Amino acid sequence: MQNPDEMMALAINAFKEWRETRQHAVSKTPKVLQQQAVALLAHFSSSKVISALNISGTNIKLWSKHGHNKHDPTEFVTLPSLDESSLHAQLSMELAFGNGCYMRFYGEISPAQLTALTQSVNTSSRTAS
C-alpha cells in the first residue's frame, strides 16, 4: 500500500497529465481521477487536496457524495422471476456509464433477451475494471 505522500504525488501527476492531454478545455473529470482525489481526503485536509490538485471545492464535495452513494450504479440488483403472463414487456431503459456515455433501449423484450443483456453488461464491467 502506498503512503499518503506517494498517493498525493501520483494524483498530482495524473491530473496534470489529464489536463495536458484532454481533448477539450472543458470536459468532465474522469471517474478514476475523481476517486483518487476523494481517497486523499482520508489523509489530507480538503483545502490541501483542492490546492494540490487544482480542483474546485464544489467538485470534491460532489465526488465524495457520489462515492458514498448507497445505490452504486455498478451494482446489480436481483429481480424477481418473471411469470408466464409477462413473457414480453415494453422496455424503456437507460444506462449511464462512468465515462459519461449513455445507452438507451426501447421496445418489446423477452426475459431471455433481458438476461443476455444484463449478463453482457456485467461481464463488460468486470473486464473493464
Q: Is residue 7 a contact partner of residue 43, using CB atoms and an 8 Å limit? A: yes
**Dist. CA 99–CA 89, nearest whole Å:** 30
pLDDT tens figures, 102-115 = 777 777 777 777 77
pLDDT tens figures, 15-53 = 999 999 988 888 889 999 999 999 999 999 999 999 999
**pLDDT classification of 73: cutoffs 50, 70, 90:** low
